[in-house]
Amino acid sequence: MYLSDSELKVIRDLGVAGWTRTVTQGVIDATKALEIAVYMNNFSTEEAVRSDALTQQKEEMAKRMAELEAELAAAKKVASEKDKLFASLEEKEDLAARYYHELKEVRAKFVVEKKVLEDALRDASLPGEDETEDTVLLAHPALVVTPRFPNNVNNTYNQSIQH
């Protein structure tokens, strides 16, 4: 930023008035140059600050994105496990319903079979037509066998036949 010899000669030839004007013009030019330098410096600094801020925001966003993706993966895993559990419960519910209906059918068959068996048992405990006469005969008091009077039984039996 030095002046060349030819530039210094031009300033000397101008005289005092020229010098003032040249100095003034130099000061103005230098001030403009400083303003430009300050503006460029500020612009660079602002850009650097902005760039740093953007970089920091990007890093924070990337970190938050990673956290959200991890949460999403965990939520998907839980949802998958719950879906499997739900499917298992549905299968068990279907199986229980099938067993319930089968049990209902078995109970209905059991009730019918029980009734049939009870009817058969009741019919078996009642004397049939050919057993009725034998039952009446056996219920006759004269046929009661006593060990002390065996001849009496024979006589009573014979008398009952004659009647």
Question: Looking at residue 144, what is its pLDDT?
Answer: 52
Q: pLDDT tens digits, residue range 74-109?
A: 999 999 999 999 999 999 999 999 999 999 999 999
pLDDT of residue 9: 74
Q: Cα–Cα distance between 82 and 79 in angstroms, integer?
A: 5
62/12: higher pLDDT: 62
Tokens matching residue 112 = 């019918």
Residues 6+ apart with CB under 8 A from 146: 152, 153
Do residues 3 and 14 touch, judged by C-beta distance below 8 A? no
Higher pLDDT among residues 69 and 148, named by residue = 69
pTM here is 0.37
